[in-house]
Structure 1
Amino acid sequence: MPSNDKNRTTNILLIRHGETAWNAERRLQGHLDIALNAEGARQAALLAAALAPERIDYVVSSDLLRARQTAEAIAASRGMTVGIDPALRERCYGGFEGLLYSEIAARFPLEFAAWQARDVDAVLPAGANQGETFRQFYDRATGAILEHAAAHPGKTIALVAHGGVLECAYRKAVGLPLETPRDFKVLNASVNRFVVEEGGLRLLSWGEVEHLKPAVLDDLG
């Protein structure tokens, strides 16, 4: 009897990239392509070593450099190649990108207030890139995760992405409304475990960072 792939559980290791210099100074990255700093490279190496004993069938990364560098550290010791998916990118913040949080508040007070109030349909100011509403970003990020799971039923996939993507997955898995404040940490080089069963995302564990010392930063980017 043929197997029913739709009923096979897919394991997702959702991983945030290592630290960048902009993470350290709370400068918003979004779609701007920032590399790991020395601490981020160290975190990626520790992450790869911690995951070495585990089964991973595929490694897929956002196309942004900070995620790719983290994914390549995981894949290199396994002799694997990294798949690239731009749909796993961080949210695009438009005119907010490249600015410190204090600078965003000063230059775009109305838009900053809407962002902080979690207006999920608020339009961001124009910048080098076209901004996304949080709802648009949520649909893109969660859709990409579920598409990878559907393409590889019964497998274990490491998806290397960004703080905002992790937030979206958490909200999807636990049914947390988009409008509610983020009351959970999103950590650099953390491992966050999910399963996809019958098309639904379920959280197994969150924020595994035992492999990292000192403690990692908690800011989206």
Structure 2
Amino acid sequence: MEATRICLVRHGETSWNAEQRIQGNIDVGLDSAGQAQAEAAAEWLSAIGATALYSSDLLRARQTAMRIAGALSLVPIMRPEFRERRYGLFEGLTYEQSRSRYPDVYELFERREPDFVIPYGGESLRQLQQRVTDGLRRVADDHRGETVVVVTHGGVLDIVNRLVRGTSLRQPRDFLIPNAGINWVSADGDRWSLEAWGLTDHLAMVGLDELP
């Protein structure tokens, strides 16, 4: 069985990233820095020979994907499986506001309790893991022996890194997820491999990693 190489790109910066404001499934577009990051990522990816481009359907990911699509001469395929985690009552608040207004809820969130569902339409880490893993496996199965690009979000990339490395959902994050960072994984059947993570050489300024 031939391996599928998957290049995962976090969307470019938004003003809410700069404010450390939780976006979740709220549609926020790229700011000027994010647009420049998306262009830089697109230029860097132009020579990789990708055969397909997938993206979260949220605006900040779509805008990033459209720039990459031009460089790759591909039409992006929108997949809701690669949307950001639903953060429920935290969406629209900064991390500090979330902590101060809902301390008990935020503690469970910060402790990375896998089955804790954030109130008011939120999602647990376990639920996020299931949909992201299903989406990634679908892409890998549909493109065996090919190279594909997926444009997505920080929370999704957190799950992907743990899937590939076999680390627990509870473990504190020990890797970076910068805006417009480039990450490479490969799938050969049920065997996942991490090739490179958090590449930012293509960026004039290293993208933000405002995630907790």
TM-score normalised to structure 2 length: 0.97
Aligned to 2:25: 31
Aligned to 1:207: 198
What is the CA–CA distance in structure 1 between the aligned matches of 2:211 and 2:11, rounded to whole Å?
A: 11
For the residue of structure 1 that corresponds to 2:72, the secondary structure is coil
**Deviation at 1:159?**
0.4
1:158 to 149, 166, 171: 149
Structure 2: which amino acid aligns with 1:66? Answer: R
Are positions 1:182 and 2:181 aligned together? no
Q: Percent identity?
A: 41
Is contact 2:114–2:125 with CA below 8 Å preserved after alignment? yes
Structure 1: which amino acid aligns with 2:89? Answer: G
Structure 2: which amino acid aligns with 1:121? Answer: D
Aligned to 2:210: 219
Is contact 2:4–2:140 with CA below 8 Å preserved after alignment? yes
**Deviation at 1:201?**
2.0
CA offsets 1:136-158 (integer angstroms, 9 cap, x no match): 10111122111111111111110
Are positions 1:54 and 2:48 aligned together? yes
Corresponding residue pairs, total: 212
Aligned to 1:107: 101
RMSD of equivalent CA atoms:
1.1
CA offsets 1:131-183 (integer angstroms, 9 cap, x no match): 11111101111221111111111111100000011111100111111111011
What is the CA–CA distance in structure 1 between the aligned matches of 2:205 and 2:138, rounded to whole Å?
A: 35
Runs (4 or more) in structure 1 with deviation over 3 Å come to none
**Deviation at 1:185?**
0.7
Structure 2: which amino acid aligns with 1:132? Answer: E
**Deviation at 1:16?**
0.4
Structure 1: which amino acid aligns with 2:186? Answer: V
What is the CA–CA distance in structure 2 between the aligned matches of 1:111 and 1:201, rounded to whole Å?
A: 33
Aligned to 1:78: 72
Structure 2: which amino acid aligns with 1:203? Answer: L
Is contact 2:45–2:72 with CA below 8 Å preserved after alignment? no
Is contact 1:34–1:66 with CA below 8 Å preserved after alignment? yes
Structure 2: which 5+ runs fail to align?
none
Is contact 1:19–1:37 with CA below 8 Å preserved after alignment? yes
CA offsets 1:25-48 (integer angstroms, 9 cap, x no match): 100001111100000000000111
CA offsets 1:182-211 (integer angstroms, 9 cap, x no match): 111111101100110012321111011100
Which one has a bigger Cα radius of gyration?
A: 1
CA offsets 1:106-127 (integer angstroms, 9 cap, x no match): 221111011111111112121x
2:7 to 8, 13, 26: 13
1:139 to 107, 130, 135: 130
What is the CA–CA distance in structure 2 between the aligned matches of 1:106 and 1:207, rounded to whole Å?
A: 31
Aligned to 1:65: 59
What is the CA–CA distance in structure 2 between the aligned matches of 1:102 and 1:155, rounded to whole Å?
A: 42
Aligned to 2:117: 123
Is contact 1:162–1:220 with CA below 8 Å preserved after alignment? no
For the residue of structure 2 that corresponds to 1:63, the secondary structure is coil
